[in-house]
Structure 1
């Protein structure tokens, strides 16, 4: 699966499925579970509020904003926000939702990486996005050139790199995924997806194999991401946690399951 193949497939799937009326919540733990949602909101609001206190204004680049759930919080703080989406359908939703907000600018980002040219910003946000991007390290490296000195980088809700995780962590993660599929009435889809992943035979016509690109290259390498960020920021904090779709499995996993997901907050951008 080449990058170009992936790009065309993802753009097609998202344009069909992610328009008005699409509900991101059931398959998005950071939207579905209050504790996870609060974790992301708190991190975003904290870095933006810090910039606002220091400078009196804050310019935010939110990459892959979906339907703007987190954009609302940024705009409420008084930040000027550029939100990007590769899905034309999602762009239409965002433009309608924020039509009355002069400080929210919606950008159609055709390759989904957010590295297209634009203004210098104080904060970059990737919320549940990096695992969709084939060359996520290259995308982050490029977009950091747009971060002003003293700025920040926030990314949350990406799967930890599989080869570094324990067998227990991987089994708990996959078991929770299949149980969630069972409660949704589409266990067969989940099993078929896992079989294709085990065989390395991906179907460009199936959103499970294209949109969730992390399965192609074993998650997101959190240490490699830290290595990109550390030379550029004074402080880089890694947050590991448990995340899954089903509510009761989230409650149970938070208490007994090993971490399978991570977030990064980097502050004090260097010139």
Structure 2
């Protein structure tokens, strides 16, 4: 159940990812070195393969680039990257970071449209799909603008809750709450957790709506694989464990079931 107030998504994203926002603190794929390296290596391999085959810098759209850490990886691999970012402060931060690099263009994106950028060779979502209310529609638009032979890569989204055990979901929530204790946000964590357990969400609250997956039980990896499988020759779904806290991550990757996923789709037909 939700309240009636509806706040534009770009306002919610900017409220959460404003000036001075620390992406590293709340982002397992940035905090944990082996996850970060794995994703960078994956992006590097996709960009390098495209560059070698095309004989030119691949054209890339990176949706919701945060502060541009993965942008740097793709540029180093030979890509030309258009960065879209809904948060004005984050867009300005990326623009400043790459202000001397003509291979990076930054677009402050208020409506989430991708078709305005024309045809590209690769679309990348890093920890973004769960922020998008209709992520399947966004992926459908991405498919339409990817050139033949191109690719889509997405990482760091929560697996669809109904296909996880209750124990896995409960442990993931507990791990997030434990991380909030270390961040001094215990009260906020309990309030958010209580609302989520009750199925009550506030559409005016950045805490609820910026993490849009809480409204619809995670992100449906099977639906994504099915959608991309209609247009790409190879679609690989990677399931893994991911949480913010260091000691919980160490334990989780050894004994807990996956709670997070990425998809690498290549060979656009």
Same fold (TM over 0.5): yes
Identify the residue that residue 92 of structure 2 maps to in structure 1: 92
Deviation at 1:20, TM superposition (A): 4.5
Per the alignment, in what secondary structure is the counterpart of residue 116 of structure 2? coil
Identify the residue that residue 131 of structure 1 maps to in structure 2: 130
Moved over 4 A (4+): 1-4
CA distance in 2, matches of 1:207, 1:42: 32
Report if aligned partners of 2:158, 2:219 keep a CA contact under 8 Å in 1: yes
Report if aligned partners of 2:5, 2:203 keep a CA contact under 8 Å in 1: no
CA distance in 1, matches of 2:174, 2:104: 40
Aligned CA RMSD, in angstroms, stands at 1.8
Identify the residue that residue 38 of structure 1 maps to in structure 2: 37
CA distance in 2, matches of 1:92, 1:183: 29
Which structure 1 segments of 5+ residues have no match? Answer: none
Per the alignment, in what secondary structure is the counterpart of residue 13 of structure 2? helix
CA distance in 2, matches of 1:229, 1:90: 29
TM-score, normalized by length of structure 1? 0.93
Structure 1 4/83 Cα, relative in aligned 2: closer, same or farther at 3 Å?
farther
CA distance in 2, matches of 1:3, 1:145: 33
Report if aligned partners of 1:150, 1:267 keep a CA contact under 8 Å in 2: yes
Deviation at 1:19, TM superposition (A): 4.2
Q: How does 1:1-271 map to 2 (within 5 A)?
A: 5-6=6-7, 8=8, 10-57=9-56, 58-112=58-112, 114-270=113-269
* Alignment size in residue pairs: 267
Report if aligned partners of 2:3, 2:203 keep a CA contact under 8 Å in 1: no
Which structure 2 segments of 5+ residues have no match? Answer: none
Deviation at 1:205, TM superposition (A): 4.3
Deviation at 1:14, TM superposition (A): 3.5
CA distance in 2, matches of 1:195, 1:2: 16
Deviation at 1:4, TM superposition (A): 9.3
Deviation at 1:203, TM superposition (A): 2.5
Per the alignment, in what secondary structure is the counterpart of residue 110 of structure 1? coil
Deviation at 1:2, TM superposition (A): 9.3
Structure 1 17/219 Cα, relative in aligned 2: closer, same or farther at 3 Å?
closer
CA distance in 2, matches of 1:150, 1:91: 29
